[in-house]
């Protein structure tokens, strides 16, 4: 175990020594034995002057394989390409799978993209241009055009010939997609079925014509959901006339799931884009400040709301002790309901017919949890402060706050989703403010109403 733990740093040290000593042959021999992912990790760690030596020691095709093994930060793509000679960088991009090259180019400025496209070979440039015009976060933007298409009237023998020819450039060969004379998607056949089929059998006689596909304009989250539900390795992408345009592979979907999860989590945390540990304090602050400033002003609104009940608090100072408790309980219950609703929307479990069911369920949950918590608080406050009326007031406020916060936590994401806005943004400003305002209004409103009895 100890040898395994020390192996990676030892390899890095050896590789750095080879670079420092200008030992190209030794570096290549050692470096090319690593998995592409390990190569990319080493590449990312070394200093820029050593990376420039790596560009000299490795071909553009070898660097392309390294780039495809992992996903760098957006700023790093620009940095690495700027370090390369522009012709070298263009060649490297042309060797990447088209969808991956598009992902890299989407992080660059338009002038840079135009420069690379003008330098690289015409065929690669055209394939990249075809994907660049698709709207971001759609099936078209993440699909690859390196797939194997088989004419439906060909025999299994000729299909194998086509496969052998196309396989080196294809991103996956586990599914072969069948097209008619107009290049419309007509079926799919697995590699296994092709191998065991009789060589003289026509493809259209052994293919599966009930093929599942997605439109090129479909959101990438829906594509990810489909691949997960059907357990596909790839799904074909078509236009509105069913022409086969490309495929989305499961490895691209893994990147989408990670990207969407990170994006949702950043919104739930009130951050515009999730910052990472390698960012400086200034960059991290710039990402967090917008939501914090919004929440600051919303908090001031809540504070101003409390000033309306200043006379009530002056008469019964004990009421102020329980404000954090009531607001906190409302916030906790609202966050729980929010998490259920946002997850259901993200996974597609919540459909139109189940939205009402969700609201009724959360209303019932809020009633039960609010009632139990309210009764517990009545007992605790009575034995703590020996004041039954205060206990009933606080318990009733917690009951009402939890009920409304739970209902709001599920209703607000559904409303925002209907407005075509990402429901994950409902967490910070909306749920927090609603919970605070509602809990304070209920608590201090009841206290003002029964002030004479307290």
Per residue in 376-414, pLDDT (tens digit) is 999 998 888 888 888 899 899 999 999 998 888 888 888
Q: Is the pLDDT of residue 323 over 80?
A: yes
DSSP string, 61-102: HHHHHHHHTS---HHHHHHHHHHS-HHHHHHHHHHS-HHHHH
Q: What confidence category does residue 353 fall into, taking pLDDT thresholds of 50, 70 and 90?
A: low
Per residue in 122-177, pLDDT (tens digit) is 888 998 988 888 888 899 988 988 899 999 999 999 999 999 999 988 888 888 99
Q: What homologous superfamily does CATH list for 149-259?
A: CBS-domain (3.10.580.10)
Inter-residue contact 433 to 294 (CB < 8 Å): no
Q: What confidence category does residue 1 fall into, taking pLDDT thresholds of 50, 70 and 90?
A: very low
Q: Based on DSSP, count helices (H) and strands (E) in the chain, helices before strands.
A: 22, 6
Residue with tokens 């080196």: 168
Q: 332: burial class by Cβ within 10 Å (0-12, 13-18, 19+)?
A: middle
Q: What homologous superfamily does CATH list for 308-453?
A: SLC41 divalent cation transporters, integral membrane domain (1.10.357.20)
Per residue in 62-88, pLDDT (tens digit) is 999 999 888 787 778 889 999 999 999
CA angle 87, 90, 95 (to 5 degrees): 125
Which tokens is 398 given?
Answer: 């917690």
pTM: 0.60
Q: What confidence category does residue 348 fall into, taking pLDDT thresholds of 50, 70 and 90?
A: low
Measured CA distances, 65 to 58, 120, 423 (Å): 11, 17, 37
Positive or negative: CA dihedral 358, 364, 365, 370: positive
Taking residues 97-113, report their average pLDDT: 87
> What does the domain layout of the chain look like in residue ranges?
14-133, 149-259, 308-453
Taking residues 319-332, report their average pLDDT: 83
Give the residue, 116 or 311, on which the prediction is more confident. Answer: 116
The class of domain 14-133 in CATH terms is mainly alpha
Q: What confidence category does residue 7 fall into, taking pLDDT thresholds of 50, 70 and 90?
A: very low
Inter-residue contact 104 to 67 (CB < 8 Å): yes
% of the chain with per-residue pLDDT over 70? 84
Q: Which strand (E) or helix (H) includes residue 344? A: helix 323-347
């Amino acid at each position: 175990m100890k040898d395994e733990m020390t192996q990676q740093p030892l390899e890095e040290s050896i590789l750095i020594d080879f670079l420092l000593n200008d030992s190209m042959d030794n570096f290549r021999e050692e470096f090319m034995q690593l998995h592409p992912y390990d190569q990319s990790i080493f590449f990312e760690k070394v200093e820029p002057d050593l990376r420039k030596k790596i560009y000299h020691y490795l071909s553009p095709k070898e660097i392309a394989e390294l780039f495809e093994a992992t996903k760098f930060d957006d700023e790093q793509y620009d940095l690495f390409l700027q370090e390369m000679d522009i012709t070298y960088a263009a060649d490297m991009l042309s060797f990447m799978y088209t969808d991956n090259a598009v992902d890299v180019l989407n992080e660059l400025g338009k002038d840079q993209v135009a420069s690379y496209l003008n330098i690289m070979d015409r065929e690669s440039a055209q394939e990249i241009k075809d994907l660049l015009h698709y709207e971001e976060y759609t099936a078209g933007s993440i699909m690859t055009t390196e797939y194997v298409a088989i004419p439906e009237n060909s025999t299994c023998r000729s299909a194998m010939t086509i496969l052998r020819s196309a396989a080196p450039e294809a991103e996956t060969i586990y599914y072969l997609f069948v097209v008619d004379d107009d290049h419309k998607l007509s079926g799919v056949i697995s590699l296994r079925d092709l191998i065991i089929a009789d060589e003289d059998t026509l493809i259209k006689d052994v293919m599966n014509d009930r093929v599942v596909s997605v439109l090129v304009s479909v959101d990438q989250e829906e594509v990810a959901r489909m691949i997960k539900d059907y357990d596909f390795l790839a799904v074909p992408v078509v236009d509105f006339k069913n022409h086969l345009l490309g495929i989305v592979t499961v490895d691209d979907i893994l990147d989408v799931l990670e990207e969407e999860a990170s994006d949702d989590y950043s919104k739930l945390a009130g951050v515009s884009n999730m910052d990472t540990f390698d960012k400086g304090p200034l960059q991290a602050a710039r990402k967090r400040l917008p939501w914090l400033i919004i929440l600051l002003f919303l908090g001031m609104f809540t504070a101003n709301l409390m000033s309306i009940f200043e006379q009530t608090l002056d008469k019964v100072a004990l009421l102020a002790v329980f404000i954090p408790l009531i607001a906190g309980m409302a916030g906790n219950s609202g966050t729980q309901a929010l998490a259920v609703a946002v997850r259901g929307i993200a996974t597609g479990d919540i459909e139109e017919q189940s939205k009402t069911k969700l609201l009724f369920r959360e209303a019932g949950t809020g009633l039960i949890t609010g009632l139990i918590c309210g009764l517990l608080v009545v007992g605790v406050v009575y034995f703590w402060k020996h004041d039954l009326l205060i206990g009933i007031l606080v318990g009733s406020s917690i009951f009402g706050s939890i009920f409304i916060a739970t209902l709001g936590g599920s209703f607000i994401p559904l409303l925002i989703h209907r407005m075509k806005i990402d429901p994950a943004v409902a967490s910070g400003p909306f749920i927090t403010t609603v919970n605070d305002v509602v809990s304070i209004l209920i608590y201090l409103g009841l206290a003002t109403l029964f002030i004479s009895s307290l």
